[in-house]
Amino acid sequence: MIIILTAYPDGKSASTAASKIVKKDLAACVNVIKVESSHYKWKDKQVKAQEFLLIIKTSARKYKKLEAWIGKNHPYDLPEVVRLPVSGGSKAYLAWIDS
């Protein structure tokens, strides 16, 4: 199992992406979390924005397709795609994610 993080600029696009990711079988589960504020530099300007974080739970074998889907369908020019390994957890839950 791996966890992918990506942020969206608004709740509607985040929810739509989460639904499509699950529907396309790119992940077993996606959480949409409202982030109070994100602070970052973009094109030499400091930005403070509200964002919505997707926590995507999937298997490592689906990563390349998921990354490509995010890159093609994300509203940002350079979407965040961070892959985190999962080193353990409930065997039953991890089996569900893998299926």
pLDDT in tens, 67-88: 999 999 999 999 999 999 999 9
Burial class (CB in 10 A: 0-12, 13-18, 19+), 82: exposed
* Mean predicted lDDT score pLDDT of the chain: 96
pLDDT at residue 36, rounded to an integer: 94
**Domains of the chain by residue range:** 2-98
What are the beta bridge partners of residue 42? 45
Tokens of 76: 């940002």
Task: Name the strands in the sheet holding 82-85, side by side, starting at the edge strand that comes first in the sequence.
Answer: 29-42, 45-58, 2-8, 82-85
Maximum Cα–Cα distance across the chain: 46
pLDDT at residue 49, rounded to an integer: 95
CATH number at 2-98: 3.30.70.120
Specify the DSSP class assigned to residue 44.
T
